[in-house]
């Protein structure tokens, strides 16, 4: 990258009057920052699209509240990960520019401006949604708005259920400024003796986590009236500070840097290293202070000083509810009319019969493409592992584990398999951000049960999603596999849009044997016929395939590239796509959030279209398609088009070669590219415009249509099964005569 590039010699520039589609001979320096967008700002732009869902009256009311809560959670993570990392660069004096030419401090400053604008809109939307909730008799009220009987009940509840949990901490020469934990809510209480002027400052942590007490405390079990946990404490301070005058009570919250990992080293025990990193994170530097509007300037300055942050830049005033991610509690209210229509994942249409053995089904009727959450994770992926754990013919189970749920059936089936005498090997990724503690727990738990646990390859995160099973079939050993785009997590399988492949294809399974040997041995010299693993092969193949489309285009055969990914930030891939566009190749990208490529630049990217899908389910699947002059290639897997995924993680992309499964992927791509409800079109400056259906166009989103199509597939499969069963019964009756 960095060289000047142009299309084939003699190619004619696209005529602006005729629109995109032609070749360009204009020369562009692809190392120039002007052709790229900023990763942080494009991610914040994605959150604007999420915010729009909270404002969209086409969404049910509680679902709009859900999107508002998602914004709160996303911004927390943005400060912990992205701002935290940028602040580390500033602190280290690094002047390295981003691809779009910004310094770390410039990125922080511009991100802050965008965040403040987004927060202002979020707070206005919160007021609107709370007013709408009130009309539906869901009330979040201030303590002062409670009637006398309600205050009496809340006072009693405070003394019995909250007061024993509190640990007020004074701040004076004998009591230094206390440690403030990440994302915790805190009350700064100023008190004095009734006959004195000296003011004492005290901190009370609001103990929402692990206490069983919700953030939104229900006042009356017969009504949906709620008061905030911190408001209950703030209005019962006389119990905590008897005989004292309460001068003020102000709410604040801190966010700490989550970037604390050490670089892995062969001489360091990885488990100990991660445990140390987790401990470091608890005490990491503060990157943001949130305060309520009533906090005095003096108290803001004192907190900023004690927390080591800039009182002008790093302090954010929060109107309304602080920590809006907790609005998820309100989202859970059981009022069906205020939610999306219920969606229950259906059985995969090929797995819905009464066939007792999934391996027979895969062998005889496979491979199968799984579409979550439209199709059930439980009756496909979990069933695959469950049957493997008990099938006497299964000898070996291997899998990669990046994230899983707290009450995971996946873990239980692995334990069952080990107890049933099978050889079980699990590669646990200890550095899965924010899941490190859970993964340490699972790794230890599995190892104690006799499972062979490894932590992957030094220096690389294992992000792949693979289950590999060796079974003694009637004709010898046969290998079976699941390769997915999503984590082995039952919760996210209901909320994320993901794909999976169940197969026993010999070439793929041979590759998986090599792949797991790489993970357990660490040697990279492996030969793969079908799979595209990262970091060794995937990016190289992607770039080669893009160049191949350019070659086809040069021979007069229309090139077509369609890539669906969560993010597009890898410069080598972007450079190759720019060159493809210059050559006249049509490039259609479905990128959920960060996209550094700029579509629609005359002569450079006018053959590229970028779409972002935002809807009920989080788009998480990766699909890579190349027309290849009619010899079409489709891939699915775990890797996003990011440098971290392609160069620094262990990923797997698998080819989809069955015409039936290719048709299913084609249906997904076509629906999303044509979506007029949940799709946004990226503009040349990085902004997005939401598509809107006209009177004759489909008004449902691609996600809604995929729900309908999964229902039709299953209904048709059941109809055929019933018809075949009737024929078998009739045939038996005829024989009996």
Q: Which two structure tokens, joined as six digits, stand for 612? A: 């972002």
Rounded CA gap, 581 and 604, in Å?
6
Rounded CA gap, 131 and 680, in Å?
28
Q: Which H, E and C letters describe 693-724, residue by residue? A: CCCCCCCCCHHHHHHHHHHHHHHHHHHHHHHH
What is the SS3 assignment for 333?
coil
Integer-rounded Cα radius of gyration of the chain: 28
Peptide bond into 657 cis (omega under 30): no
Residue that is written with structure tokens 């779009």 in the block: 100
* Closest-CA residue to 558 (of 589, 587, 600, 578): 587
The answer to whether the beta carbons of residues 485 and 636 sit under 8 Å apart is: yes
**Strand pairing category for 315-317 and 286-291:** parallel
Kindly write down the DSSP assignment for every residue of 385-416, as one continuous string.
HHHHHH-TTEEEEEEEES---TT-HHHHHHHH
Element (H, E) at 39: helix 39-55
Q: Which two structure tokens, joined as six digits, stand for 481? A: 């596999």
Per-residue CA distances from 69 to 206, 232, 581, 602, 735 (Å): 19, 22, 39, 39, 64
Q: Which of 224, 348, 372, 463 is catalytic?
A: 463
Rounded CA gap, 536 and 652, in Å?
11
φ/ψ (deg, to 5) at 727: -65, -40
* Closest-CA residue to 421 (of 401, 451, 443): 451
Rounded CA gap, 461 and 430, in Å?
8
CB atoms within 10 A of CB 540: 14
Maximal CA-CA distance, the chain: 106
339 assigned to active site:
no
What is the SS3 assignment for 88?
helix
Q: What is the DSSP letter of 639?
A: -
Per-residue CA distances from 284 to 92, 185, 308 (Å): 15, 17, 11
Mention every residue, 6+ apart, whose C-beta is less than 8 A from residue 553. Answer: 23, 559, 580, 583, 584, 585
φ/ψ (deg, to 5) at 458: -55, 130
Rounded CA gap, 520 and 271, in Å?
16
Q: In what order do the strands lie in the sheet with 315-317?
A: 169-171, 200-205, 185-193, 244-256, 286-291, 315-317
H helices present in 136-243, as ranges: 148-157, 229-234, 237-240
Rounded CA gap, 372 and 495, in Å?
9
350 alpha-carbon distance from chain centroid: 29
Peptide bond into 39 cis (omega under 30): no
The answer to whether the beta carbons of residues 1 and 30 sit under 8 Å apart is: yes
* Four-point Cα dihedral 263, 267, 271, 274, nearest 10: -20
What is the SS3 assignment for 498?
strand
Mention every residue, 6+ apart, whose C-beta is less than 8 A from residue 302. Answer: 201
Peptide bond into 373 cis (omega under 30): yes
Per-residue CA distances from 41 to 411, 550, 599, 641 (Å): 38, 31, 16, 17
* Four-point Cα dihedral 305, 306, 307, 310, nearest 10: 0
Q: Give the active site residues.
A: 463
């Amino acid at each position: 990258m960095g060289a000047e590039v142009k299309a084939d010699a003699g190619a004619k520039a696209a005529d602006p009057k005729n629109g995109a589609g032609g070749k360009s001979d204009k020369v562009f320096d692809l190392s120039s920052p002007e052709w790229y967008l900023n990763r942080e700002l494009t991610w914040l732009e994605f959150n604007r699209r999420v915010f729009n869902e909270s404002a969209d009256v086409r969404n049910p009311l509680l679902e709009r509240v859900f999107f508002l809560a998602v914004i709160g959670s996303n911004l927390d993570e943005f400060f912990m990960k992205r701002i935290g990392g940028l602040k580390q660069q500033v602190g280290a004096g690094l002047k390295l520019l981003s691809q779009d030419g910004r310094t770390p401090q410039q990125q922080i400053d511009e991100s802050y401006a965008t965040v403040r604008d987004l927060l202002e809109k979020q707070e206005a939307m919160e007021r609107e949604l709370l007013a709408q909730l009130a009309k539906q008799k869901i009330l979040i009220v201030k303590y002062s708005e409670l009637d006398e009987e309600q205050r009496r009940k809340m006072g009693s509840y405070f003394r019995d259920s909250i007061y024993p949990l509190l640990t007020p901490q004074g701040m004076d020469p004998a009591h230094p400024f206390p440690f403030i934990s990440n994302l915790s809510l805190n009350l700064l209480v100023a008190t004095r003796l009734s006959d004195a002027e000296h003011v004492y400052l005290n901190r009370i942590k609001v103990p929402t986590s692990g206490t069983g007490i919700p953030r939104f405390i229900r006042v009356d079990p017969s009504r949906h009236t709620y008061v905030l946990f911190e408001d209950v404490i703030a209005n019962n301070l006389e119990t905590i500070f008897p005989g004292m005058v309460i001068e003020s009570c102000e709410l604040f919250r801190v966010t700490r840097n989550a970037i604390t990992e050490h670089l892995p080293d062969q001489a360091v025990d990885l488990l100990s290293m991660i445990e140390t990193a987790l401990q470091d994170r608890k005490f990491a530097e503060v990157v943001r202070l949130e305060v309520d509007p009533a906090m005095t300037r003096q108290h803001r300055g004192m907190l900023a000083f004690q927390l080591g942050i800039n009182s002008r830049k790093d302090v954010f005033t929060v109107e309304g509810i602080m920590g809006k991610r907790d609005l998820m509690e309100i989202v859970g209210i059981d009022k069906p009319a205020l939610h999306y229509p219920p969606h229950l994942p259906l059985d995969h249409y090929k797995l819905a019969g009464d066939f007792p053995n999934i391996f027979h089904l895969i062998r005889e009727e496979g491979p199968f493409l799984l579409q979550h959450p439209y199709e059930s994770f439980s009756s496909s992926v979990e069933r695959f592992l469950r049957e493997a754990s008990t099938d006497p013919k299964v000898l070996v189970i291997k899998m990669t584990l990046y994230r899983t749920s707290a009450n995971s059936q996946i873990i239980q089936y692995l334990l069952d398999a080990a107890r049933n005498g099978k050889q079980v090997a699990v590669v646990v990724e200890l550095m899965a951000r924010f899941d490190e503690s859970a993964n340490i727990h699972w790794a230890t738990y599995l190892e104690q049960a006799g499972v062979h646990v490894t932590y992957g390859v030094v220096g690389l995160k294992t992000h792949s999603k693979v289950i590999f099973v060796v079974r003694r079939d009637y004709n010898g050993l046969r290998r079976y596999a699941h390769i997915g785009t999503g984590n082995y997590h039952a919760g996210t399988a209901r909320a994320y849009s993901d794909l999976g492949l169940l197969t026993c294809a010999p070439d793929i399974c041979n590759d998986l044997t090599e792949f797991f040997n790489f993970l357990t041995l660490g040697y990279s010299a492996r030969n793969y016929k079908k799979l595209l693993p990262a970091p060794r092969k995937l990016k190289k193949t992607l770039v080669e395939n893009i160049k191949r489309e350019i070659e086809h285009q040069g021979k007069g055969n229309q090139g077509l590239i369609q890539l669906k990914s969560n993010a597009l930030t890898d410069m080598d891939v972007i450079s190759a796509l720019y060159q493809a566009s210059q050559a006249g190749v049509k490039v259609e990208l479905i990128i959920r959030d960060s996209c550094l490529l700029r579509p629609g630049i005359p002569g450079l990217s006018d053959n590229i279209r970028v779409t972002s899908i935002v809807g009920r389910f989080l788009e998480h699947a990766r699909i890579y398609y190349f027309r290849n002059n009619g010899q079409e290639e489709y891939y699915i897997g775990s890797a996003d088009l990011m440098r971290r995924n392609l160069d620094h993680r262990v990923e797997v992309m698998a080819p989809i070669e069955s015409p039936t499964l290719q048709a299913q992927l084609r249906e997904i791509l076509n629906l999303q590219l044509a979506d007029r409800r949940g799709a946004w079109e990226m503009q040349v400056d990085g902004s997005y415009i939401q598509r809107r259906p006209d009177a004759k166009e489909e008004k449902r989103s691609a996600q809604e249509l995929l729900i309908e199509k999964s229902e039709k597939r299953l209904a048709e499969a059941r109809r055929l099964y019933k018809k075949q069963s009737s024929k078998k019964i009739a045939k038996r009756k005829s024989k009996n005569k």
